C-alpha cells in the first residue's frame, strides 16, 4: 500500500512541477513583449512566486517521492531494461531546464533580458517534449 501512495504523490507532485514548467516560459513570452515598467514588474513578481512557491517545492517533492519509489524496488527497475535509465536521464535534463528558467527569471528581474518573445515560444516547447518522452518510457517501456 505504501508503494501506491508514494506513486500517487509522485504523480501529483510531477503534475504540479510540469504546470510550472509550462507556465513560466509562457510568462517569459509576455514579459519579453512588455514595454512599460508596471507590466515588467508585475511579470517579475508572478515569475518569482511561481518559481519559488510552486515549481521549487513541486520539483523537490517529485524527486523525493521518485527516489523513495526507486529505493523500494531498485533492482527490478534497473534489470527490466533501459527505460528507467532513459527516464532518469530525462529527469536530470529537466532539472537543468528548471534551473535555466531560474537563471532567466533573475535576468528579467535585473532588466538584463536579451532574448525575444520568439525564443521563449520555442523554449516553452522543451518540457512538452520531455513529458511526452517520459510518459512513453514509463507506460510503454519500449526497451
End-to-end CA distance of the chain: 28
CA distance 64 to 98: 16
**98 assigned binding-site residue:** no
- Contact between 45 and 31 under an 8 Å Cβ cutoff? The reply is no
CA distance 69 to 121: 34
Q: What is the DSSP letter of 142?
A: -
CA distance 17 to 49: 13
CA distance 110 to 95: 23
**117 assigned binding-site residue:** no
CB neighbourhood size of 56 (10 A): 15
Binding-site residue numbers are: 10, 87
Binding-site residue positions for heme: 10, 87
Amino acid at each position: 500500500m505504501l508503494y501506491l501512495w508514494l506513486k500517487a504523490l509522485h504523480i501529483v507532485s510531477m503534475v504540479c512541477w510540469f504546470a510550472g514548467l509550462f507556465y513560466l516560459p509562457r510568462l517569459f513570452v509576455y514579459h519579453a513583449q512588455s514595454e512599460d515598467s508596471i507590466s515588467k514588474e508585475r511579470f517579475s513578481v508572478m515569475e518569482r512566486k511561481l518559481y519559488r512557491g510552486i515549481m521549487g517545492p513541486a520539483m523537490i517533492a517529485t524527486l523525493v517521492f521518485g527516489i523513495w519509489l526507486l529505493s523500494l524496488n531498485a533492482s527490478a527497475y534497473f534489470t527490466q531494461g533501459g527505460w528507467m535509465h532513459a527516464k532518469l536521464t530525462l529527469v536530470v535534463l529537466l532539472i537543468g531546464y528548471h534551473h535555466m528558467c531560474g537563471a532567466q527569471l533573475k535576468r528579467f528581474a535585473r532588466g538584463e533580458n536579451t532574448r525575444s518573445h520568439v525564443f521563449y515560444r520555442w523554449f516553452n516547447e522543451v518540457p512538452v517534449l520531455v513529458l511526452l518522452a517520459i510518459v512513453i518510457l514509463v507506460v510503454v517501456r519500449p526497451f
